[in-house]
Chains A and B, each alone.
Chain A
Amino acid sequence: MTDSPNRSVSRRSFLTSAGAVGALALAGCTEGPGSGTDNGLSGSIRISGSSTVYPVAQAVTEQFRSQNPGVEFNLSRDGSGGGFSNLFCEGNSDFNNASREISSDEEEQCSSNDIEYHEINVATDALTVIVNNDFASEYPGVTDMSIDQVRQIWRADGATTWQDVNGDWPDEAINRFGAADTSGTFDYFREAVLGEDANHTSDYSPTEQDNTILQGVQQGRYAIGYFGFSYYQDNQDAVTAVTLQAEDGDSYVEPTLENAKSGDYPLARPLFTYPKVSSLSQDHIAEFARYFVRQSANDSLIADQVGYVPKTEEGMQSELDALNEAISNA
């Protein structure tokens, strides 16, 4: 706080002080951002794509940069699709983050521009289904649902009241809050819960903002919603998470990072980053890609700081091997 005042004070004193006449020094005074590097890596890296993966990328780049100050990052949030079509597949970025796999259109666009890519799974987001606290305490049964019940709630022409899903539940209309259909979260949820043959209901409140879902479920007694685990982690008291059962006879699995990491939790959504293979021939980019993969198993960074599910050591190792192969081919 006192920095700037001190500065203006001292500037005043320069103006008034008439000390010894100093000659114009020729050397010294390097200016601009730090150019010294620890291990000689320097260059810039352009990362585009999904806003879901953005927090991971930001945390990883921040750490990488603290060790390699010579590397500059340009990290944008253009959405998975905007990133692929406007930047990555046009050759304008080195990495594209995506909250879904690259689509066939995008593959085509990339290959028509001779852009070769490598896919890295950097983390997993455990989609958490939530219901209202009062509702959950009145009907404890709603906190355990099978994927099939979730499907009934979210499919077009499915249940309209809670009673339609389970006869014990109240005859009240279901109030749904979910991801906007333009987001990768929506695509994942539709595919994972509804599958190919059912349509997603249009009778829900779509939004890009997680806090709208949170608030909607908090205020609507018979509401249901879903969002990324990280958001639930920060708001555990505000809403109640639903434990999910993948198949009949399976046990109900609580949404936790451990369960998602072990693969037990059914709604674990993989997050990706796609480095451009030709860029990997540059040392700083290859090193950063390796670092990114290694950090994907870093619990304190991925789980505690960002709230996503880190990779297991083995998963990380196999990604690293694949990456190293891609780097050696670059």
Chain B
Amino acid sequence: MATRSESGFGEVSRLRGIVFKYLTFGASLVGILALGVLLAYVFWDALGLESAGTAWYLTYTVTLLAPLLGFLAYARDKPEVTAGAIELVGFTLAGGTLSFAAIIVLIVIAGPGVWVTYFLTVVAPVIGLFLYGQYEREATWVGLAMLGTLVVGPIVGTLGLGAISTVAALLGAPGVYFLSLVVPGAGLAAFLAADRFDASRRVALGVAVGLLVLAIVGVPVVDTVPIVARSVWFAVLVMLGLPVGFAVTNTARQPARRAAFALPAIAIGGFLVGEFVVGAIGATQPSPWLDWQFLTSPTSSLPADAGLYPAVIGSVFLIILVSIFTFVFGVGTAVYLEEYAPSSGLLGTVTRLINVNISNLAGVPSVVYGLLGLGIFVNINIQFGPVVYAGIGAGTVLTAAMTLSLLILPIVVISAQEAVRSVPDSLRQASYGMGATRWQTIRNVVLPRSLPGILTGTILALGRAIGETAPLIMIGAVATKYNPPSGLFDTLTAMPLQIYTWAFLPSEEFRYGVVAAGVVTLLIVLLSMNSVAILVRNKYQQETY
């Protein structure tokens, strides 16, 4: 009897098991598919694909889509080619993000005077000390000197701002960026060539000189294009050129990966051919909301004139400040809690409480953080003796950045703690065994090993910060701004806030056109940030053993 029921059970359960397997598989696709459909709709609206003619679709299907799908099918079973393609695309996206950030921060927001001042007083000395420390391992004072520079440098810079920017004005903006970006970039290129690709000293030097020559050679060409200034050219050359050059060289050096070059060739070639054919046969093109005008104009009450420029700059400004704050404090907290904090006794209880506290802070709704920002940065007036603290302004860049930093700090701390914890204890013991102090162990063993994990976690958390809206509303970020923020104490608007402001406007053109374009822009910025995170994670996974 037992056997009979057993066999019956087996027969039924096979079908049941298969159904269940596909049920679970289906469930895991539901959310992804739903989001995919929504994204398709919003891209459709943002790019105005509805108005495109059949000929346009046919052309691009033949020239771009079909070859791309063909490449994907080809690369499917070739991990080397896939890796190469991911590296090429990822480094291009990452380079694009970097050059975009550099243009916005160094050129639009800071401007040559401010940038060169802090470059000379903070960035250059710190990099110099770091390099010296790498070269001369015995110099134990280097770390402290770097810390000191980070504290003293900004003060000296602020004091000397007037004088240095006057001198810098003689050099001109392009000169400043040439000296501060292209020259160090050439150094970096030479180092990478020698260190990563084992180039001889002569070749490495050639790479550096080549970059400098290319920068100068490009100038007259750039001058013919009105929207690209010389400074922008230098920033793009270094920030986009270096990563792309690195990825290209790396791929070219591995024969198994070389087929990956087909991807950019197909993408660019297919696009150009498609553009040519469409022009030749006169197919109706789509009329996108997301176009150059949208990205370069401020908002407007007329949908056709509305743009996202100040909000894009505001968001990027915000994200850069937030990343600095959260990286410093997040890593500091994680390292303290994992490496220093006592784990037993009364103080151990305090440590545990802090850990619990951090995990709870990660679950506090963002709107409550908005109230926190309102309470401690905006509506406050405290007097400590002669010092009066009256907040740092409603809706200013600094207020917004600090509020968002507090919001994502717990997430950064938790992921950094995990990364630090994943460093095997045997490595620490080995380091102590060789006579290293605790800090030396952290600096030379723990941090380098956990850095990729920390970076991945931080970038993903930054993705959350860039999309947050409720705290910005609470702290009084502005809804309309025609120019990007000019400094830390200027007000800002950010992409999600602009989307929110537009979404309620009654006009259909705003709701289905302008907002869709804003959403797509925000998603593209997020995507390029996450591509950096994925790159870092992939690299990390390759190197761990």
A contacts B: CB pair < 8 Å: yes
Question: What is A's interface to B at a CB cutoff of 8 Å?
Answer: 1, 3-5, 7, 9-15, 17-33, 44, 46, 48, 54-55, 58-59, 61-62, 65, 72-78, 82, 86-87, 90, 92-93, 209-211, 231, 234, 305-306
A1 touches B291 (CB 8 A): yes
B301 touches A305 (CB 8 A): yes
Complex Cα distance, B227 from A75, in Å, reads: 28
A72 touches B483 (CB 8 A): yes
Which residues of chain A are within 8 angstroms of B173 by Cβ–Cβ distance?
Answer: 29-31
Which residues of chain B are within 8 angstroms of A93 by Cβ–Cβ distance?
Answer: 394
Given known A31-B107, A87-B476, contact A26–B175 (CB-CB < 8 A): yes
Chain A to chain B contacts (Cβ below 8 Å), 29 pairs? A1-B286, A3-B291, A3-B292, A4-B291, A4-B292, A10-B225, A12-B268, A18-B217, A20-B217, A21-B216, A22-B216, A22-B217, A29-B230, A31-B173, A33-B484, A46-B478, A48-B476, A58-B299, A58-B301, A61-B480, A73-B480, A73-B482, A74-B490, A76-B395, A76-B476, A86-B394, A87-B394, A92-B393, A210-B506
Complex Cα distance, B476 from A225, in Å, reads: 31
- Decide yes or no whether B221 CB sits under 8 A from chain A: yes
Complex Cα distance, B223 from A19, in Å, reads: 13
Complex Cα distance, B173 from A244, in Å, reads: 65
Q: Which one, B291, B301, B481, contacts A55 given CB within 8 A?
A: B301
Complex Cα distance, B300 from A305, in Å, reads: 12
Complex Cα distance, B109 from A33, in Å, reads: 10
Complex Cα distance, B491 from A15, in Å, reads: 38
Complex Cα distance, B230 from A27, in Å, reads: 11
Q: How far is the CB of B469 from chain A (nearest CB, A)?
A: 13
- Of all chain A residues, which has the CB nearest B218? A14
Given known A11-B236, A29-B229, contact A74–B481 (CB-CB < 8 A): yes
- Decide yes or no whether B158 CB sits under 8 A from chain A: no
Complex Cα distance, B483 from A3, in Å, reads: 22
Which residues of chain A are within 8 angstroms of B227 by Cβ–Cβ distance?
Answer: 7
Q: Which of B66-119 contact A (CB under 8 A)?
A: 107-108, 111-112
Most B-side CB within 10 Å, residue of A72, A76, A209, A306? A76
A234 touches B506 (CB 8 A): yes
Which residues of chain A are within 8 angstroms of B174 by Cβ–Cβ distance?
Answer: 24-26, 28-29
A14 touches B233 (CB 8 A): yes
- Of all chain A residues, which has the CB nearest B103? A31
Which residues of chain A are within 8 angstroms of B220 by Cβ–Cβ distance?
Answer: 19-20, 22
B288 touches A23 (CB 8 A): no
Q: Which one, A22, A28, A72, A75, contacts B172 given CB within 8 A?
A: A28
Q: Which of B268-285 contact A (CB under 8 A)?
A: 268, 271-272, 275, 285
Q: Which of B467-501 contact A (CB under 8 A)?
A: 476-484, 486, 490-491, 501
Question: What is B's interface to A at a CB cutoff of 8 Å?
Answer: 107-108, 111-112, 170-175, 178, 213-214, 216-222, 225, 227-233, 236, 241, 268, 271-272, 275, 285-288, 291-293, 299-301, 374, 378-379, 393-395, 476-484, 486, 490-491, 501, 504, 506
Q: Which one, B218, B286, B476, B477, contacts A82 given CB within 8 A?
A: B476
Q: How far is the CB of A265 from chain B (nearest CB, A)?
A: 22
B300 touches A62 (CB 8 A): yes
Which residues of chain A are within 8 angstroms of B241 by Cβ–Cβ distance?
Answer: 15
Q: Which one, B108, B230, B482, contacts A32 given CB within 8 A?
A: B108
B291 touches A33 (CB 8 A): no
Q: Which one, B214, B394, B480, contacts A75 given CB within 8 A?
A: B480
Which residues of chain B are within 8 angstroms of A74 by Cβ–Cβ distance?
Answer: 395, 478, 480-481, 490-491
A29 touches B172 (CB 8 A): yes
Q: Which one, B178, B222, B275, contacts A5 given CB within 8 A?
A: B275
Complex Cα distance, B502 from A77, in Å, reads: 12
Given known A31-B111, A86-B374, contact A25–B225 (CB-CB < 8 A): no
A27 touches B172 (CB 8 A): yes
- Of all chain B residues, which has the CB nearest A23? B216
Q: Which one, B216, B301, B504, contacts A24 given CB within 8 A?
A: B216
Complex Cα distance, B275 from A9, in Å, reads: 12
Which residues of chain B are within 8 angstroms of A55 by Cβ–Cβ distance?
Answer: 301
- Of all chain B residues, which has the CB nearest A9? B272
B178 touches A24 (CB 8 A): yes
Given known A13-B221, A55-B301, contact A92–B171 (CB-CB < 8 A): no
Which residues of chain B are within 8 angstroms of A209 by Cβ–Cβ distance?
Answer: 504
A72 touches B301 (CB 8 A): no
- Of all chain A residues, which has the CB nearest B112? A31
Which residues of chain A are within 8 angstroms of B480 by Cβ–Cβ distance?
Answer: 54, 58, 61, 73-76
- Of all chain A residues, which has the CB nearest B173? A29
**Sample of 4 further A-B pairs with CB below 8 A, known A33-B108, A33-B484, A48-B476:** A7-B228, A14-B218, A17-B217, A306-B301
Q: How far is the CB of A106 from chain B (nearest CB, A)?
A: 14
Q: Which one, B300, B394, B483, B501, contacts A92 given CB within 8 A?
A: B394
Most A-side CB within 10 Å, residue of B107, B174, B221, B271? B221
Complex Cα distance, B372 from A15, in Å, reads: 49
B229 touches A31 (CB 8 A): yes
Most B-side CB within 10 Å, residue of A14, A86, A234? A14
- Of all chain A residues, which has the CB nearest B309? A33
What 9 A-B pairs come out closest when comparing CB atoms?
A3-B292, A75-B480, A76-B478, A26-B172, A22-B220, A74-B491, A22-B219, A74-B478, A14-B221
Complex Cα distance, B265 from A122, in Å, reads: 59
B481 touches A73 (CB 8 A): yes
Q: How far is the CB of B122 from chain A (nearest CB, A)?
A: 22
A75 touches B292 (CB 8 A): no
Q: Which one, B171, B286, B378, contacts A86 given CB within 8 A?
A: B378
Most A-side CB within 10 Å, residue of B219, B228, B285, B477? B219
Q: How far is the CB of A118 from chain B (nearest CB, A)?
A: 21
Complex Cα distance, B230 from A139, in Å, reads: 72
B301 touches A77 (CB 8 A): no
Complex Cα distance, B275 from A62, in Å, reads: 36
Q: Which one, A9, A11, A211, A306, contacts B506 given CB within 8 A?
A: A211
A62 touches B172 (CB 8 A): no
B107 touches A32 (CB 8 A): yes
Q: How far is the CB of A81 from chain B (nearest CB, A)?
A: 12
- Of all chain B residues, which has the CB nearest A12? B268
B108 touches A31 (CB 8 A): yes
Q: How far is the CB of A207 from chain B (nearest CB, A)?
A: 12
Which residues of chain A are within 8 angstroms of B483 by Cβ–Cβ distance?
Answer: 33, 72
Which residues of chain B are within 8 angstroms of A12 by Cβ–Cβ distance?
Answer: 268
Which residues of chain A are within 8 angstroms of B299 by Cβ–Cβ distance?
Answer: 58
Complex Cα distance, B177 from A3, in Å, reads: 26
Most A-side CB within 10 Å, residue of B233, B378, B379, B478? B478
Complex Cα distance, B480 from A12, in Å, reads: 36
B219 touches A25 (CB 8 A): yes
Complex Cα distance, B284 from A152, in Å, reads: 58
Given known A21-B216, A48-B476, A73-B481, contact A31–B231 (CB-CB < 8 A): yes
Which residues of chain A are within 8 angstroms of B491 by Cβ–Cβ distance?
Answer: 46, 74, 76
Complex Cα distance, B221 from A26, in Å, reads: 16
Q: How far is the CB of A143 from chain B (nearest CB, A)?
A: 24
